Amino acid sequence: MPLTLTDITKEFGSTPALRGVSLEVRDGEFLALLGPSGSGKTTLLRILAGLARPDAGSVRFNDEDFLALSPRARKAGMVFQHYALFRHMTVAENIAFGLKVRPRKERPTREAIKTRVAELLRLIQLEDLGGRYPAQLSGGQQQRVALARALAIEPRILLLDEPFGALDAKVRRELRHWLRRVHDETGVTTIFVTHDQEEALDLADRVAILSAGQIEQLGAPQEVYEQPATPFVFDFLGAANQIKGEVKAGRLLAEGCSFPLEEACADGPVTAFFRPHEVDVNPEDGEGLACVVATVAARGAAVKVECRCNGRLFDVEWSGRELPAHVKVGAKVKLAPKRFRVFAG
């Protein structure tokens, strides 16, 4: 059954954290809540976990009033950024904790708990480390244990609050692929909070992008990246360049240049965005925005170039290390974006 949030509102004093958020999370879905700090994503997660109450709105899950249930009755597994493991307990004891503290009538037998812990240790690929203590594990291993502890209670919904935030970039990349595999194996409806765009686009079935307590756009990763609904979404999802201009008769007029547009757009003032990898850099006698190459830097498999135009910098990116001969620091060039996303105003 879906999890349905309707007009969720929350304020802290006079500061709005959530402003009429409505959202349906599909059964078994992996949904990412993506946004900058202060956008309301963690507040929304805490409301679902029962750690905070909204000022207005409703949440229904499996046709129940989810907000009327106690945190325990919601059967939500929660994983935090900083693990929150019990330092005095072994890995196996940490995983078993949620089962052992159940009321006596609901508590599994010792043998059932032992079997469940063994299953989860295999799932998180730490079969031989059940007897160790958290301090004897790496950060990535501790985060796996935290996830296993959340899964031990067989939650109806799994809530992940920036679970990889305390880890280095390499470990984060490794764990997110592992997390997706775990989700596919368990089928638990999962809501994942992150401010990392790459992480959200790589992991989720759908992404809800939040800004200032509201959902700017909800959709599949490719959809929100290729068809951003607002200037905020375009600018937030990856590197972006923007220019002010005017649309007239199907062309963008900006910085003394005229560019064709792929999409229909009403005439009038606009803000136009384009991605760094969707730009041609022409010689000085070519067509495009007149710029001067400010920097050239090889970064891994790509070369990044900054071009200055009327005091503003535009980013350009090439895959591979071969640059045209005319692209060098101090050279005058013309930038010709190949694709624009245009927003009125």
Q: pLDDT at position 290, please?
A: 95
pLDDT tens digits, 309-325: 988 999 999 887 678 88
pLDDT tens digits, 94-105: 999 999 998 888
For residue 67, name the pLDDT band (cuts at 50, 70, 90): very high
Average pLDDT for 233-262: 92
pLDDT tens digits, 9-30: 999 998 999 999 999 999 999 9
Say what percent of the chain tops pLDDT 70. Answer: 99
Per residue, the 3-state secondary structure of the chain, as one string, reads CCEEEEEEEEEECCEEEEEEEEEEECCCCEEEEECCCCCCHHHHHHHHHCCCCCCEEEEEECCEEHHHCCHHHHCEEEECCCCCCCCCCCHHHHHHHHHHCCCCCCCCCHHHHHHHHHHHHHHCCCHHHCCCCHHHCCHHHHHHHHHHHHHHCCCCEEEEECCCCCCCHHHHHHHHHHHHHHHHHHCCEEEEEECCHHHHHHHCCEEEEEECCEEEEEECHHHHHHCCCCHHHHHHCCCCEEEEEEEECCEEEECCEEEECCCCCCCEEEEEEECCCCEEEEECCCCCEEEEEEEEEEECCEEEEEEEECCEEEEEEEECCCCCCCCCCCCEEEEEECCCEEEEC
pLDDT tens digits, 249-307: 999 999 889 999 988 889 999 999 999 999 999 999 999 999 999 999 987 778 999 99
Average pLDDT for 51-55: 96
Least confident of 52-56, 73-77, 161-165: 161-165
Q: pLDDT at position 298, please?
A: 84
Asked whether 183 and 190 are in contact (CB, 8 A), the reply is: yes
For residue 241, name the pLDDT band (cuts at 50, 70, 90): very high
The order of strands in the sheet holding 312-319 is 279-283, 332-337, 289-299, 302-309, 312-319
Q: pLDDT at position 293, please?
A: 96
Asked whether 272 and 342 are in contact (CB, 8 A), the reply is: yes
For residue 80, name the pLDDT band (cuts at 50, 70, 90): confident
Q: Directed axis angle between helix 169-186 and helix 110-123, to 10°?
A: 130
Mean pLDDT over all residues of the chain? Answer: 92
Which residues of the chain are in CATH 2.40.50.140 domains? 239-344
Average pLDDT for 47-54: 96
pLDDT tens digits, 117-159: 999 999 999 999 999 999 999 988 999 999 999 999 999 999 9
* Encoded amino acid at 91, one letter: V
Q: Give the C-alpha separation, 157 to 2, whole Å.
A: 11
Residue 58 has pLDDT above 90, yes or no: yes
Residue 220 has pLDDT above 90, yes or no: yes
Q: Which CATH superfamily is domain 3-235 in?
A: P-loop containing nucleotide triphosphate hydrolases (3.40.50.300)
Q: Which CATH class is domain 239-344?
A: mainly beta
| Closest among 135, 7, 130 to 67, alpha carbons compared | 7
Q: pLDDT at position 321, please?
A: 66
Which residues of the chain are in CATH 3.40.50.300 domains? 3-235
**Confidence (pTM):** 0.88
For residue 75, name the pLDDT band (cuts at 50, 70, 90): very high
Asked whether 293 and 328 are in contact (CB, 8 A), the reply is: yes
Say what percent of the chain tops pLDDT 90. Answer: 79
For residue 216, name the pLDDT band (cuts at 50, 70, 90): very high
